[in-house]
Structure 1
């Protein structure tokens, strides 16, 4: 494989993880013979360019926040590390779209630059780092530990403000009204799975929520003021739209690790 080809393979890395494996380069070890009138072998080898490509010491990947809306990574970008988390999906509906429209209008008035998620979910673990060879045993451990859980319903409630541990992003999210006890039991099972792989467990006394929008930096006070006004509008929306817009019927949970997605059906 040429040096250019090897670099092209490395450039296929996408997102926070990759399924690509670095393939080895086979080098010919045939002995060269020369006749008396040929140029000496060592002279010819002196003219060969030395490739500047070392698989044992890959270049450090420099994080560029401008490529992902100013967000900073919580952990270094390293080949072979797979960002992994377990969650419950929430499908956007008419009620949620109307709420997002109200949030957008209010944030413009308050001059708060919010960005909105394309997909919505309720986290059951932190985002942890998993090595590629541990994916299959980790997924099997989850499947075994949650196999006894039944389907259940989560009712949504008002808006609340959250901030990440690094205080680099502030979030506006929907709290839950019912389903806390079942969610807590799920988290305890998943914490057991994480512990087996020496991975960080979920937050103590978690506040389960579905993040809707976010902004850079610590904007807690601004967003709390915004949330107080928006909760009055949310109450009106909850009366205007049917209950189906404001609950989740949890039939499965998911684990995303890199670009792999695993589904676990509940009883």
Structure 2
């Protein structure tokens, strides 16, 4: 059956109001266009405000993404300093030995990279040659920004049978200790040598953060590596030193305590050998093969005095530490819930 098209009883009424409807539609369209224009202007303003921090206008990549590219591919099976700017391997490669490093990683924002690059550029004004030539840690050979680090261990190594157990042990200690995120600032510019005096580093000194978080993180890491026979970082000799001339702390207290000992006593014993090595914490931003000469030291002091104000305003927020074993990187996040973070501050 065919459908019949009945005329609308309101047809004449609608036809009579065509002009009013057109006027209303035009006004509505203009208002919508104006709102869209204002919205786009606000978006452009936000983009301009965030340009220094994120020039691409994209959300930051997750920390684990960078870990996928934590190491470059090997281009030689032998130690060849010519491939690494003259650097020599301090610890020889041994088959079955997994090089390990514990550290905090920092990816500066674009504006922060510019401030740090300016510091290095001020020092590159000197005619440095040979071992004194300054190499930046800020960018790769291809010009890509690189992460910066705070070391929480020396370069150490584990056998295949130990590496997984060590990572689990460190992760358990981190969770039990109840660390929470913290921030720190920089206090100055300086030069330090590595343990073997084979390289010198231009560094940013770090102010002691609230709750002494860096010293406590180092204490947990040092205790963990010593349990596996590895040397600690920045440890001072003490009256209770062991044969390797460093004091060992008791292991982190277990969940179940003895009848004669409370968990608070166990926690106090664990932190009994906590040392203040705040002056040793730093972030390296450049390096040389030889010690800095007098002119470079004098210029560094001048730059630290006259051009460090903006860098001193930077605040670095720490959310996790990393354990790199071979090319595998394990992220160990700090507690986000303050109520959970009772272990670290319970004594």
TM-score normalised to the size of structure 2?
A: 0.55
Quick check: 1:182 aligned with 2:217?
Answer: no
In 2, the alpha carbon distance for the partners of 1:75 and 1:238 equals 34
- The residue number in structure 1 matching 2:29 is none
Measured after TM superposition, the shift of residue 200 of structure 1 is 0.9
Q: Using the alignment, how far apart are the partners of 1:15 and 1:145 within structure 2?
A: 33
Secondary structure of the corresponding residue to residue 157 of structure 2: strand
Structure 1: how far apart are the matches of 2:208 and 2:88?
A: 33
CA RMSD of aligned residues (A): 2.3
Which moved further from structure 2: 112-121 or 221-230? 221-230
1:251 pairs with one of 314, 319, 322? 319
Structure 2: tracts of 5 or more residues without a match: 1-71, 138-145, 236-276, 336-347
Q: Which stretch shifts more, 65-74 or 95-104?
A: 95-104
- Equivalences for residues 125-140 of structure 1 within 5 A: 125-140=153-168
2:172 to 132, 139, 144: 144
From the two aligned structures, give the one with the greater strand fraction: 1
Aligned with 1:137: secondary structure?
helix
Residues 136 and 178 of structure 1, relative CA distance in 2, 3 Å threshold: same
Instruction: Determine which of 212, 216, 230 is the counterpart of 2:289.
Output: 216
Q: Does 1:160 align with 2:187?
A: no
Q: How does 1:215-234 map to 2 (within 5 A)?
A: 215-219=288-292, 221-234=294-307
Larger proportion of helix:
2
CA change 1:155–1:107 in 2 (3 A) is closer
In the alignment, structure 1 segments of 5+ residues that lack a partner are 1-12, 17-60
Partner residue in 2 for 1:10: none
Q: Is the CA contact (8 Å cut-off) linking 1:173 and 1:211 kept in structure 2? A: yes
Q: Is the 2:126–2:296 contact (alpha carbons within 8 Å) kept by the matching residues of 1?
A: no
Q: Which residue, 142, 152, 155 being the options, matches 1:124?
A: 152
Superimposed CA distance per residue, residues 149-180 of structure 1 (whole angstroms, 9 cap, x where no aligned partner)? 12211122211111112211110111111327
Computing the radius of gyration from Cα coordinates, the structure with the larger value is 2
Alpha carbons of structure 1 residues 104 and 248: separation in structure 2 relative to 1, 3 Å: closer
| 1:221 Cα deviation after fit | 4.3
Q: Flag the 1:222–1:84 CA change in 2: closer, same or farther, 3 A.
A: farther
The alpha-carbon distance between structure 1 residues 176 and 229, as it changes in their structure 2 partners (threshold 3 A), is same
2:115 and 2:311 in contact (8 A); partners too: no
Classify the secondary structure of the residue corresponding to 1:232: helix
Corresponding residue of 1:195: 226
Measured against aligned partners, the alpha-carbon deviations of 1:206-244 in whole angstroms (never above 9, x if no partner) come to: 6100100001122264543232122134334248xxx4x
> Does the alignment pair 1:115 with 2:122?
no
Shift of residue 134, structure 1, vs aligned partner: 1.6
TM-score normalised to structure 1 length? 0.70
Paired residues of 2:150 and 2:282 also in contact (CA < 8 A): yes
**Residues 156 and 174, structure 1, Cα contact 8 Å, conserved in 2:** yes
Paired with 1:190 and 1:238, the residues of 2 have a C-alpha distance of 28
Structure 1 position 132, deviation (Å): 2.4
In 1, Cα distance between the equivalents of 2:154 and 2:148?
A: 15
Q: Per-residue deviation at 1:95?
A: 4.0
Aligned pairs for 1:15-30 (under 5 A) are 15=74
Q: Distance in 1 between matches of 2:311 and 2:124?
A: 23
